[in-house]
Structure 1
């Protein structure tokens, strides 16, 4: 019998996702040195990512725009098919199963999207939008039970059930995102994928929505995969943090460990950009150099062109995640060789 307490709820093993740029025959034909050759260009969005999320935790994935964090979220949600690697949920592999076979999983796993203005159907009232998933996943429930369930969830996210006859355009951005959270909670999930759920909201509303998600986590025992580019949000929300750069994991650590002792040069640069009230003389790390394109990834470390510590080894040898004494994982030759300095 499997030990469910130590087993991760979600586990990603060497996950990869590539998007083809050239599809037709004519698009693949290129002229090189006076010769015609066939070449298929690909965007390497996610490259050999391995992560796990334990039950009840909030695993945050952070990085710059275009680093592949939203692609990871969509791969886990089943909205995209991986090009390589495996996705395991509660000990079972799910990426190689059909949509029909994963239907029961949809009730356990829900997603909150980035844009509350686009994620709600403008032609449906809030009641219709919230009742639809309940009715779909619970065909035996009566109309009265469904309505009671929706009213209870709306109250739990701070939205008055008497507003359920209104349409999405009648609500503010913060109210819409609360409704989107309510829609995810109506089917009583155990795992929620949140793809930058507060980035489209005013700063004054962001804390309210974050606190709402934390309350739902405690009350319902939720596990989160939280995608964000805002490290101040991570410090407030996350239990563990994975830092992505060009589709690869640079550093993986507990939130407290990452903020107290960041090790990867990219993580240090990200954290130095977070405003601190206590800093009289902020020590910002300014990254120089060009960001490589995900179409033609560099041979060695993907961060080499912007790293002040890069040497010849970094240009030819891809660093592998190494366990550190404090439990964090860091993929960096400079950290491994002890030439980073403090």
Structure 2
């Protein structure tokens, strides 16, 4: 039961779904099956009935295998994609149905950092032009000197030398480019950052620097993050809460400490068992067997059933709902609900 005294979430995602049609024209929907022509529309079910609240000051990490729908969720929240079903609210206002014009004031509040720093910066623009552009766009009342002051302050805050301003993106390393991309997001003084695997394209030696930079920005600017990643070691360092996705559906939601100390969903347990631990002389990896279902034809029932050691007939027929556990985490698993999880051999 929801606490009436709990503050309203900054971001609310309600029963979100996103499908990508594979058949673009009418002719592509015509199939020849069992000696007769039939019409069949195919679609990739990228996000399936995802509901999530993100409160101010949180760093909510969304994790899962490649293709599980993490980046699609990020793009839906940032307004780069429109949902097939469901609703998205920001600070109490519905935003998924806004026109581009009505969405414009929210662009200052919600910014996105992309995965690839080599592709997210315009190669024909100097760093100064790339950083000044969003400031001028969202603050037309700013004078030239005010724009330069804002850009210079943000550059220094993320460790980018203002002397680099006249140079082009190709003159920088990946880590430097990602710092510049972070600076570009911060120039408009946002409240909410959607970060889509912002360190996965960087060398390991640079990843910690960029993560620490993002944490410093969170504390100094009061930022809230929706952080997309597949690296669980990053989650443990960065996240306040974790959302585990599998085939576009939520398996488990828990605060970071609870998830790492007491994972409950079989998929979460398997993910965490794959994280290398120096203290483990005999690591107890959980090896998942079975086929991964295609997101084009999702199975009835639990999407994880084909790889789960605890699946039964109910898992074949009924999709599990997220149920709150005594420690506050949410778990969508019939085996957890029925308390029939046993240690794997």
**TM-score between the two structures when normalised by the length of structure 1:** 0.98
Counterpart for residue 198 of structure 1: 199
Distance 1:204 1:97 in 2: 41
Q: Tell me what 1:134 maps to.
A: 135
Alignment of structure 1 residues 181-260 onto 2, 5 Å: 181-260=182-261
Alignment of 1:74-89 (within 5 A): 74-89=75-90
Q: Aligned partners of 2:284 and 2:15: how far apart in 1?
A: 35
Distance 1:314 1:248 in 2: 14
Task: Give the drift of 1:231.
Answer: 0.5
Give me the whole-angstrom Cα distance separating, in 2, the residues matched to 1:4 and 1:334.
Answer: 32
Distance change >3 Å, CA 322–CA 49, structure 1 → 2 = same
Pairwise CA distance, 1:35? 1.2
State the shift of 1:102 in Å.
1.1
CA change 1:128–1:209 in 2 (3 A) is same
Separation (CA, whole Å) in 1 of partners of 2:291 and 2:170? 41
For residues 133 and 6 of structure 2, the distance between their equivalents in structure 1, rounded to whole angstroms, comes to 33
Match of 2:278 in 1: 277
1:62 partnered with 2:81: no
The alpha-carbon distance between structure 1 residues 175 and 16, as it changes in their structure 2 partners (threshold 3 A), is same
Aligned equivalent of 2:27:
26
Q: Answer with 24-33 or 120-129: which moved more.
A: 24-33
Give 1:158's aligned residue.
Answer: 159
Alpha-carbon RMSD? 1.0
Q: Shift in Å at residue 5 of structure 1?
A: 7.2
Residue 177 (structure 1) shift: 0.1
Q: Distance between the aligned counterparts of 2:324 and 2:146, measured in 1?
A: 50
Can you list the C-alpha shifts for 1:132-162, whole angstroms capped at 9, x where unaligned?
A: 0000000011111111110110000001001
CA displacement at 1:341 relative to structure 2 = 2.3
The C-alpha deviation readout for 1:183-211, integer Å capped at 9, x for no partner, is 00000000000000000000000000000
Separation in 2, partners of 1:288, 1:48: 26
**Aligned match of 2:147:** 146
* Counterpart Cα distance in 2 of 1:28 and 1:145: 55
Shift of 1:31: 1.1
- Distance in 1, matches of 2:171 and 2:5, equals 44
Distance 2:318 2:142 in 1: 58
Per-residue Cα deviation, 1:196-229 (whole angstroms, up to 9, x for no partner): 0000000000000000000000000000000000
* d(CA) in 2 for partners of 1:14, 1:25: 29
Which whole-Å deviations, capped at 9, do the CAs of 1:287-326 have from their partners, x for residues lacking one?
Answer: 0111000000000100000011111111111000011000
For residues 199 and 67 of structure 2, what CA distance do their matches in structure 1 show? 18
Q: Where do 5+ consecutive residues of structure 2 fail to align? A: none
Q: What secondary structure does 2:88 align onto? A: strand
Q: Which portions of structure 1, spanning 4 or more consecutive aligned residues, are displaced by more than 6 angstroms?
A: none
User: Is residue 317 of structure 2 the alignment partner of residue 308 of structure 1?
Assistant: no
Could you say which residue in structure 1 is the equivalent of 2:326?
325
Q: CA deviation at 1:96?
A: 1.1
Corresponding residue of 2:296: 295
2:47 aligned partner: 46
In 1, Cα distance between the equivalents of 2:24 and 2:225?
36
| Rounded Cα–Cα distance in structure 1 between residues aligned with 2:27 and 2:100 | 33
Q: Secondary structure, in 3 states, of the residue corresponding to 1:215?
A: helix
Matched, 1:100 2:101: yes
SS at the partner of 1:116? coil
**C-alpha distance in 1 between matches for 2:5 and 2:135:** 27
Distance 1:83 1:59 in 2: 23
1:3-61, Cα deviation, whole Å (9 max, x unpaired): 99701000000000000001112110011211111000010000000011000000100
3-state SS of paired residue (1:102): helix
SS of match in other structure, 2:206: helix
